[in-house]
Amino acid sequence: MKKILWSCLAIVLAILGLLGLKTYIDYQSGDHVSGDKVLNFYNWGDYIDPDLLTKFTKETGYQVSYKTFDSNEAMYTKIKQGGTSYDLTVPSDYTVQKMAQEGLLEPLDHKRLTGLGNYDRQFMNLSFDRGNRYSVPYFWGTLGILYNSKKYSAQDVAHWDDLWQPKFKQQLMLVDSARDVLGFTLISQGKSVNDQSDADLAAAQGKLTSLMPNVKAIVADELKMYMAQGEANVGVTYSGEAAQAMQNNPDLRYLVPSEGSNEWFDNLVIPKNAKHKDAAYAFINFMSKPENAAQNAKYIGYATPNKKAYDLLPAAIRNDQAFYPKQATLDRLQVYDSFDKTWTEKYNDAFLAFKMSRP
Per-residue pLDDT tens digits for 149-171: 999 999 999 999 999 999 999 99
Q: Average pLDDT in the 8-34 region? A: 45
Per-residue pLDDT tens digits for 235-266: 999 998 999 899 999 999 999 999 999 999 99
Q: Is 295 helix (H, G, I), strand (E, B) or coil?
A: helix
Per-residue pLDDT tens digits for 40-91: 999 998 899 999 999 999 999 999 999 999 889 899 999 999 988 999 999 9
Per-residue pLDDT tens digits for 334-355: 999 999 999 999 999 999 999 9
Which residues does residue 13 pair with via DSSP β-bridges, in sequence order? none
Provide CB contacts within 8 A for 85, sequence distance 6+: 32, 40, 271, 273, 274, 275
Measured at the CA of 318, the angle between CA 162 and CA 269, to 5 degrees, comes to: 85
pLDDT of residue 287: 98
Measured between alpha carbons, how far is 46 from 42 in angstroms, rounded to an integer? 12
Q: How confident is the model at residue 33 (pLDDT cuts 50, 70, 90)?
A: low
pLDDT of residue 32: 56
Picking from 40, 45, 86, the residue whose alpha carbon sits closest to that of residue 66 is: 40
Provide CB contacts within 8 A for 189, sequence distance 6+: 200, 203, 204, 207
Which residues does residue 140 pair with via DSSP β-bridges, in sequence order? 265, 303
Domains of the chain: 34-140+265-318 (3.40.190.10), 141-263+325-356 (3.40.190.10)
pTM score, whole prediction: 0.84
CB 308 within 8 A of CB 173: no
CB 295 within 8 A of CB 54: no
